[in-house]
Structure 1
Amino acid sequence: MKKLHPTSVAVRSLSRSLNTGFVFFIIGVVVSPGGNGMDLLSIVGLVVLGIITGIVYEFAYYQRFRYELTADTFDVTSGVLSRRTRELPLGRIQNVDIRQNVVNRLLGIAAVHIETAGGGETEVNLRYVSEAEAHRLRQQLRQGARTEAEDEESLEGEEATAESPAAAVEEEELLFEIQPRELAILSVFTIDPGASVLGGIALSFASGFDPATLVPADRVGGLPGPATGIFALAWGLLLFLLAAWVISALLTFTRYYGFRLTRAGDELYYERGLLQRYSGTIPLEKVQALTISEAIPFRWFGYAALSVETAGYAPGQSDSRGTESAIPLADADRVVALARAIEPFGPIDLESPPRRARERYAVRYLLVVAASVAGAFAVARYTPLDRWYVAAVLVAVVPVAAHLKWTNRGFHTGERYFFTQTGFWRRTTKIVPYYRVQAVLHEATIFQRRRHLASVTADTASSASFFGRAATAHDIDADRGLELQAGIEGRLQRQLHARKQQRASGRWRQDESEKSDSCPSKKRENDN
């Protein structure tokens, strides 16, 4: 059995000793026998004891941690005070994630996080192993997982012919590498929600926690009292937005710096990050759906993004589990080409919702404008602000907004894939293979029923469906929705039956390989 990298003792001890030292510092302040409640010598002694305790604990952790990759399982033995032994069947391993911060990269070590099928938390953490060992484990663990899955699908009594995990790994093919121009545009126009908090903190430190220092005195000297307050508020808001934008650009730049996507066999491998380097896998057999996103203003420059929805948890997702970015930003044609390399779909000829759906959107927006005018009127009654009726100019925007919403929605039913599109500010096109559909929902709210409309959703095993991001054909004719529901269910059963027959005959893997290697025109003929 193997041990962790010796350097892991020093790296883990640094973090552990700081934590235990701080805890012992608090204890020393509370229980110090000094006359004023604190004795410096006692506190220093406790802090040193805490640091030594952390170092001793991490050294013991290193000595007792063992792992081994066998033909069928990945075995891990750990624990200082209590021993814990885990055996992970290779067939249950879904993702292997490699992470490195700046210190790890300088020392040549990496953390390996192993996820199992159906798990929302990391099953095994190896902190830390060498970079070469981390990549070896990732490749062999995922290769072993594929071997186990193939063995489970083979006929009873048939001997498994797949390679063992220790076999030579497949060569990686570079599919995508982000260009400097793409990274610059992505950084400038991406708004990170966490940047607003960091922007506020940065402004607080810059002003010495005194907002008045941020207001230029030469600009407000001649203004009356109320105007001075309004100017100071506007100036502070401008500085806050500027700080949030700068921090957001920096965070995005460091997050996607050096992004590259490769393919080895039936898996995608990605790497990204400047300060914190992430490297993980996207198993193609776990892909549930593809999402092509064209957000404004990226769409103005002809750029798009590609996300891959997988079953369960994918590495590097943080709190957006169920989807992983295959391409953060690239030319729209490149995005579509890569999407077709993952799922060979044909051209998308969208069917738009009926025109009465556009009328429904107009009524909805008119109600929003009416509420805005009413709110402005209420504010005008209790404040010096007048001209509340100015909010009514929003009525002129209603027809344009309703039309844009209507034109950016649609759906298409191919022979092997279901397509949906929605959104103006962030237009998303979803591609769902029929055999990945778990349920087909036909829904109609009370407002939709008044106009004989309905929405049809093709739900998959992706956890993204729980957040309302499933493939949905919005506001289509109710009768057409029933036909669409029946059509998706029929194609689902046919594809499941075909896949079952192909797996039984042992031709599924070969057919999938030939399909991915076929020319785009052949793929389009097969799809439509």
Structure 2
Amino acid sequence: MTGSSDPGPDRIPSTASEWDQVGTASDIQHPDPPQGPPARQRLHPLSPALHGAKSLVVVIAGLSWSTLSRVGFGWFVAMVIVLALGASVLAVVSWYYTGYQVVGRELRIHEGLLWRRTRAIPLERLQAVEVVRPLLAQLTGLAELRLEVVGGGKTEAPLAYLSVAEAAALRQRLLALAGDAPGAVPAAQAQPAPAGVESVPPPGRPLHSVSNRDLLISQLLTPQAFLLPFGVAFVAIQFLSEGSWSFIAVASTLTAMAGVLLQPVRRVLDDWRFQLARDGDRLRIRNGLLETRSQTVPLHRVQTVRVTWPLLWRMKGWLRLRLEVAGYAAGEADERNRPDRLLPVGDRPTGEMIVAEVLPGVALSSMPLRPPPTRARWVNPLSRQVLGAGLTEQVFAVRSGLLVRRLTIVPYARLQSVRVVQGPVQRLLGLATVHADTAGGAGAAAVDRDLADAWALAAELTARSRAARRAG
């Protein structure tokens, strides 16, 4: 019987060599314990200070100059301090109980003290991600992350505020998890943009940079700019007729003049240094002076492209391009909060180039647009010659507008529904309107088509939409 040097399961090793063969307890492989959800992340500690500063501005604006005249300067300052302190305390409490975490393919936002609330946002619904830096955020090196999702009437989950590096890394991670960019850089390897990089072109292949000079001229060629002298004259007449040069009168006059000048100035500030680039299957947009925006839009999320030719711009051959992305284009009441700019101002060749990047194979100069029948002049006597609708291989296009000419381009794969609508006058004339609805809610409408033509157009749109979805 031959002996064995290997220790059996019931035999205690007796030599040093046998102990070496068995090994130590640290060499034994144990299964990893199950991991729970990642830890909840808080916003930047300076967030309450920025929210408090914004609240202070709102408080002062809410009290108005008339309150100052009634209570006096001392009580006015005391009211501002008390209200600002209260708002700051609420901001600190809100920050302490607010956090976020990424669990699988879901972003969870936790907030609330007395009433706890958790919002779970599936990342497959993600449409666009913005990094926004208001003036105070720029001064403190912070940024705000805004997410736009399918079906949202407004921004779904504004995370205000994060550091610039954290906001950029989180944006990259969310887009990668959403599956919008195959082969996207993992969050751990992403190289976030450092603070103060707004003047650097966005990543990817540069497409176009808008001249600030053209931007200024374009705002001078608007009805608001032409009405500015009349508004200033009206304010000046009101000021002189009062016969009072008190502080309250001067402040009220300046406030009124600021309101008159606000809209064109705001547009210039919002679109300042506008830069557009393409990074794989995404658009990278950066713009803004006092409030900078860095936006990422996956191209396959684009629902509609709108081309606009304002009346006074047509003499210079300029146009404007806007996107419709499901979740925000039609949901925001304030135009400033709609991050849908594709080209604030540019000539036709530039517009052709950008449209071809967003919708490959689509050319603005070769749209087969057919006008409505002659009897439509009874419904649209002035704009009948401008109206038009047509189908190309990739898109459905509709033209409308008399003073401000518009062209709406809808890819077939983005159509959600097709409707044929007849009003009472249209029924008398044998006309109908064909509505092509998208997930963004606006879509396009071919107005006052012949009834038989309208039904044929609706059937063709339905068939092409079905085929495009199968191919995609």
Corresponding residue number in structure 1 for 2:50? 11
User: 2:371 & 2:60 partners in 1: Cα distance?
Assistant: 64
Segments of structure 1 that go 5 or more residues without pairing to the other structure are 30-37, 151-160, 215-240, 366-401, 465-469, 500-528
Of the candidates 148, 168, 189, which is equivalent to residue 135 of structure 1? 168
Corresponding residue number in structure 1 for 2:310? 295
Shift of 1:319: 3.5
Q: Secondary structure at the residue paired with 1:105?
A: helix
Matched, 1:73 2:118: no
Indicate how the Cα distance of structure 1 residues 163 and 90 shifts in structure 2: closer, same or farther if over 3 A, else same.
farther
Shift of 1:328: 1.4
Indicate how the Cα distance of structure 1 residues 349 and 13 shifts in structure 2: closer, same or farther if over 3 A, else same.
closer
Q: Tell me the amino acid that sits aligned with residue 414 of structure 2.
A: R
User: 1:419 & 1:22 partners in 2: Cα distance?
Assistant: 45
- Report matched runs for 1:249-398 at 5 Å: 249-314=264-329, 317-319=332-334, 324-344=340-360, 345-346=362-363, 347-358=366-377, 360=378
Corresponding residue number in structure 2 for 1:178? 210
- Given that 2:235 and 2:257 are in contact with CA atoms closer than 8 Å, whether structure 1 keeps it comes out as no
Shift of 1:177: 1.6
Matched, 1:97 2:130: yes
Q: Deviations over 1:418-441 (max 9, x none)?
A: 122122211111211222222222
Q: Tell me the amino acid that sits aligned with residue 207 of structure 2.
A: L
Shift of 1:475: 2.8
Shift of 1:142: 2.2
Shift of 1:273: 2.3
User: 1:250 & 1:139 partners in 2: Cα distance?
Assistant: 32
Q: Secondary structure at the residue paired with 1:415?
A: coil
Give the structure with the higher percent helix: 1
Indicate how the Cα distance of structure 1 residues 354 and 136 shifts in structure 2: closer, same or farther if over 3 A, else same.
same
Matched, 1:489 2:467: no
Q: Secondary structure at the residue paired with 1:463?
A: coil
Indicate how the Cα distance of structure 1 residues 271 and 199 shifts in structure 2: closer, same or farther if over 3 A, else same.
farther
Shift of 1:313: 1.6
Indicate how the Cα distance of structure 1 residues 6 and 243 shifts in structure 2: closer, same or farther if over 3 A, else same.
closer
- Choose 93-102 or 202-211, whichever is displaced more: 202-211
Q: Tell me the amino acid that sits aligned with residue 468 of structure 2.
A: Q
Shift of 1:99: 2.6
Q: Secondary structure at the residue paired with 1:494?
A: helix
Using the size of structure 1 for normalisation, the TM-score is: 0.64
- Given that 1:140 and 1:165 are in contact with CA atoms closer than 8 Å, whether structure 2 keeps it comes out as yes
Corresponding residue number in structure 2 for 1:445? 423
- Given that 1:16 and 1:54 are in contact with CA atoms closer than 8 Å, whether structure 2 keeps it comes out as yes
- Given that 1:78 and 1:84 are in contact with CA atoms closer than 8 Å, whether structure 2 keeps it comes out as yes
Q: Deviations over 1:47-74 (max 9, x none)?
A: 7666555444444444444333454333
User: 2:80 & 2:425 partners in 1: Cα distance?
Assistant: 66
Q: Deviations over 1:340-391 (max 9, x none)?
A: 1111225312223333334x25xx65xxxxxxxxxxxxxxxxxxxxxxxxxx
Of the candidates 394, 399, 405, which is equivalent to residue 416 of structure 1? 394
Root-mean-square deviation (Å): 4.1
Shift of 1:326: 1.0
- Report matched runs for 1:152-167 at 5 Å: 165-166=187-188
- Report matched runs for 1:225-240 at 5 Å: none
Q: Tell me the amino acid that sits aligned with residue 73 of structure 1.
A: E
What percentage of aligned pairs have identical amino acids?
29
Shift of 1:102: 1.9
- Given that 2:133 and 2:292 are in contact with CA atoms closer than 8 Å, whether structure 1 keeps it comes out as yes
- Given that 1:270 and 1:279 are in contact with CA atoms closer than 8 Å, whether structure 2 keeps it comes out as yes
Shift of 1:20: 8.6
Corresponding residue number in structure 2 for 1:480? 453
User: 2:321 & 2:80 partners in 1: Cα distance?
Assistant: 50
Q: Deviations over 1:193-228 (max 9, x none)?
A: 9x989986x6676456454779xxxxxxxxxxxxxx
- Given that 2:307 and 2:321 are in contact with CA atoms closer than 8 Å, whether structure 1 keeps it comes out as yes
Segments of structure 2 that go 5 or more residues without pairing to the other structure are 1-39, 192-201, 245-255
Indicate how the Cα distance of structure 1 residues 62 and 253 shifts in structure 2: closer, same or farther if over 3 A, else same.
same
- Given that 2:370 and 2:388 are in contact with CA atoms closer than 8 Å, whether structure 1 keeps it comes out as yes
Indicate how the Cα distance of structure 1 residues 297 and 81 shifts in structure 2: closer, same or farther if over 3 A, else same.
same
- Given that 1:282 and 1:314 are in contact with CA atoms closer than 8 Å, whether structure 2 keeps it comes out as no
Question: How many correspondences in the alignment?
Answer: 401
Shift of 1:259: 1.6
